[in-house]
Amino acid sequence: MRQPRPRLLSPPAVLPEELIAEILYRLPVKSLLQFRCVCKSWKTLISNPQFAKDHLRISISNTSLTHQRLASFTNDNYGYYRMETCSVPSLFENPSTPAKTLSFQVEPYNNQFIVGSCDGLVCFCDQNGYLRLWNPCTRLESKKSPPVDLKPGRVNHRWFWDYGGLEKRFAHYGFGYDQVNDKYKVLIADSRHGTLYATRVHSFGTDSWTTIQNFPCALTSQVGKFASGTLNWLARKGDGSIKSLIISFDLEKETYGKVLLPPHVDGDELDVLSSCLCLCEFNGIHCGLWLMKEYGIQESWTKLASIPYGGVHYTL
């Protein structure tokens, strides 16, 4: 009897490299770190700096809170400081259960504060003026920056930090990304007893600080908000009026600029929402929330909400 011929197995389907990359872009960092062991081509792809940039771009475009994390410093009874982060969704999944956190331990008895965050990186400073970057997803940290000159006070031959903490020593600061030069930069303005000594900028990956011109007018906010390649603070006009404006610092050119608020609006709080500057205004009757859809274009300010408070309901 004639034996049936064995069936030839079809070769396994091979996905195009472009499609594989598109799938990997949408996976969490923890999975990507594991998938580097699948094969050499995946390891090469995932380890490519351009892959990291494309993965970040797609993650940012996700309008859900899947990739958002909260970060803070805590200390225990033994004097150890830790930076802890947790995902925003974990706070809502089961409110009665403590959220899972990632922890990064720093030197004991070394006061720390967070300068800012950008592209998933957290920039923090210690009491000796050294700054570092930490990636909560990969748990990798950068080398220390050169120390920024803090000009500490001296009492009883011991150094101390006035104004109740290291963070208060800096009148203004901010952290962001210079896309043109592919550098993460930090700005710090050192002050003491209300006097601004100097404003300095550091590019991570270099071994120096650059002293720049102090701010052109008095700022009313301490932390610079990063948007469109600039750091932004609320400020008062220098003509004696009480009207606010926004002072910006271009991280590429390292120059100052001004951004106008919506007409007839005075700002109280500045933040970032969906990569755009967001402004809060309190007028005693309601809270107005504004969004600048096109950076630097005054006409692009759009009012998102008007929230009544103080027992008075106000309708626009």
In a domain, 274, yes or no: no
Q: Does the residue 298 lie in any domain?
A: no
CB 74 within 8 A of CB 84: yes
280 lies in a domain? Answer: no
The answer to the question of residue 22 being in a domain is: yes
DSSP designation for 300: G
Considering only 173-187, 236-250, 302-316, which range has the smallest mean pLDDT? Answer: 302-316
Checking if the pLDDT of 286 tops 70, the result is yes
Q: What does the pLDDT read at residue 312? A: 44
The whole-number average pLDDT for the span 9-18 is 70
Higher pLDDT: 251 or 7? It is 251
- 217-270 pLDDT, tens digit per residue, is 888 889 999 999 999 999 987 655 556 889 999 999 999 999 999 988 888 889
Pick 222 or 110 by higher pLDDT.
222
As a whole number, mean pLDDT of residues 169-174 equals 86
% residues pLDDT > 90 (the chain):
28
- Whole-number pLDDT of residue 149: 73
From first CA to last CA, the distance across the chain in angstroms is 92
36 belongs to a structural domain: yes
Q: Looking at residue 305, what is its pLDDT?
A: 86
- Quick check: is 25 in a domain? yes
Q: Give tens-digit pLDDT for 191-209.
A: 776 677 889 999 999 999 9
> With 90 as the cut, is the pLDDT of residue 38 above it?
no
* Residue 294, in any domain of the structure: no
**Number of structural domains found in the chain:** 1
Q: Is 24 helix (H, G, I), strand (E, B) or coil?
A: helix
Beta carbons of 222 and 232 less than 8 angstroms apart: no
Residue-wise pLDDT for 115-128, tens only, equals: 998 988 889 888 78
> Sorting pLDDT into bands at 50, 70 and 90, what band is 167?
low
Which pLDDT band, with edges at 50, 70 and 90, does 316 fall under?
Answer: very low
Q: What residue type is 244 in one-letter code?
A: S
pLDDT band of residue 67 (cuts 50, 70, 90) is low
What is the span of the domain harbouring residue 22?
A: 17-52
| pLDDT band per the 50, 70, 90 thresholds, residue 99 | low
Least confident of 46-50, 77-81, 143-147, 309-313: 309-313
Contact 258, 247 (CB under 8 A): yes
Count CA atoms closer than 13 A to 154's CA, side-chain side: 2
pTM recorded for the entire structure? 0.77
Mean of pLDDT over the chain: 79
- The answer to whether position 38 is within a domain reads yes
Structure tokens at 120: 């998933």
Closest C-alpha to 250, from 219, 301, 299, 212? 212
